Amino acid sequence: MDAAEALLSLQKRPRIGRTEGCESSVREDLVEGDATHRTDIQGTDVLENNESILDADCDVVTNSDPVCYDQCDSRTSEQLRALEKDKEKLESKCASLVLENERLSSQYTQLLAANFQAVSRNTELTLENSHLRAQKFGSSLIEKDDNKTLFYTGLPTYKLFSTLFDLLQPYYSLYRHGTPNIDHFFAVLVYLRLHTPMDDLAYRLQISKSRVSRLFHSWMDTMYCNLQPLVTWPDTATLRENMPAAFRKHFSNVKCIIDCFEIFIQRPVSFHARAATYSNYKKHNTVKVLIGISPSGVITFISQAWTGRVSDKVITKRVAFLTISSMEM
């Protein structure tokens, strides 16, 4: 075996676990053997000596390899076990992250649906708010809606409401109450029908409370002066012609049904007026009015207002209702 073949065989052998002393010894011997081979290539004795030295060194390296391999295997096994543990931890963490991602995705979908519903509801409320702002409080609220007209004013149709306003507005101007406004007339009827607080009407009409009070009294004066002739005592023939069937069968001679109704008022400042208007029946300060209606429900008689302390019997006698009714019979 020459020096070149010896070098090739050493390079092919594994170097794992070699000690520093072994590596330096082999390296030095190789250098010396190579130098000897170059200087005296014909000296077989020298080459044989070098081959013996290389064989001895290779035996040392070969004998030391099993220990190095065991140490390397143990370290590699520990590293593999550590890597396996890390892999298991990473796989577990990855699985938990996948579950968390699915949960968050589900929540995100729910939030998107809730957000869509909220946006839709907000759009609806915005449109409704715009509509309500555009629709101011007034006659336009009951226009083309007889059910609302009956609820707010007590009149059966909007046409009747409009006709009544057209009838009264010339007299309203005649009494120097100002320019008639159909929305103000509507507010007065709402107050009479629903007893809506004047503060509420003032806010709705965007005027002062005192202004609402003046409008109320102005329209009440106008209606009293012009609608009073509509309350008439009917003749006997008209009563019998319009009498309901139930009255014709059991109460054919009835001409009028009377009752005294009371209206609450504020407590007067004067002690005398306070005592005169206090009603023991209502336990409040009131004014009392005698009203009469026909069997068909038409108002046929209204008395002047009396203080709440006066009895119904006294009012009936004082207003001469019985005298009026007997004269018409």
**Domain assignments of the chain as residue spans, ordered by start:** 1-134, 140-229, 232-328
Question: Which has more confidence, 27 or 258?
Answer: 258
pLDDT of residue 79: 81
Span 51-76, pLDDT tens digits: 554 454 444 444 445 555 566 677 78
- CB of 262 within 8 A of CB of 281? yes
Query: Nearest CA to 278 among 247, 306, 249, 307?
Result: 307
Is the pLDDT score of 214 beyond 60?
yes
User: What b/e sequence results for 286-314 when a residue is b if at least 16 CB atoms lie within 10 Å of its CB, and e otherwise?
Assistant: bbbbbbbebbeeeebbebeebbbbbebee
Which residues touch 44 (CB under 8 Å, ≥6 apart)?
none
pLDDT of residue 134: 60
Is the pLDDT score of 270 beyond 90?
yes
- Say how far apart CA 89 and CA 107 lie, in whole Å: 27
pLDDT of residue 19: 42
**Range in 105-109, 195-199, 322-326 the model is least confident about:** 322-326
Query: What does the block give as tokens for 167?
Result: 């009838």
Q: Where are the beta strands (DSSP E) in the chain?
A: 257-264, 278-279, 284-293, 299-302, 306-307
pLDDT of residue 288: 95
Span 111-167, pLDDT tens digits: 999 999 999 899 888 887 776 666 678 888 888 889 999 999 999 999 999 999 999
**Range in 69-78, 257-266, 305-314 the model is least confident about:** 69-78
Question: What is the arithmetic mean of pLDDT over 169-183?
Answer: 81
Round the average pLDDT of the chain to a whole number and report it. 79
- Cα dihedral 106→110→111→115 (10° resolution): 150
- Say how far apart CA 266 and CA 307 lie, in whole Å: 13
Residue 191: CB atoms within 10 Å? 19
Which residues touch 278 (CB under 8 Å, ≥6 apart)?
284, 285, 286, 308, 309
pLDDT of residue 286: 95
Question: Which has more confidence, 125 or 321?
Answer: 125
Is the pLDDT score of 296 beyond 90?
no
Query: Nearest CA to 276 among 318, 311, 304, 309?
Result: 309
pLDDT of residue 81: 83
The pLDDT confidence band at residue 224, using thresholds 50, 70 and 90, is confident
Query: What does the block give as tokens for 294?
Result: 């026909």
Statement: the pTM of the whole predicted model exceeds 0.75:
no
The 3-class SS string of 49-94 reads HHHHHHHHHHHHHHHHHHHHHHHHHHHHHHHHHHHHHHHHHHHHHH
pLDDT of residue 18: 43
Span 20-49, pLDDT tens digits: 444 444 445 544 555 444 444 444 454 455
The pLDDT confidence band at residue 3, using thresholds 50, 70 and 90, is low
Question: What is the arithmetic mean of pLDDT over 216-237?
Answer: 87
pLDDT of residue 22: 45
Chain centre to alpha carbon of residue 19:
82
- Residue with the two structure tokens 């409704």: 128
Residue percentage of the chain with pLDDT more than 90: 30
- CB of 298 within 8 A of CB of 305? no
Is the pLDDT score of 308 beyond 50?
yes
Q: Phi, psi (5° rounding) for residue 302?
A: -140, 130
Question: What is the arithmetic mean of pLDDT over 258-283?
Answer: 92
pLDDT of residue 328: 54
- CB of 155 within 8 A of CB of 166? no
The pLDDT confidence band at residue 326, using thresholds 50, 70 and 90, is low
Question: What is the arithmetic mean of pLDDT over 219-241?
Answer: 86
pLDDT of residue 231: 82
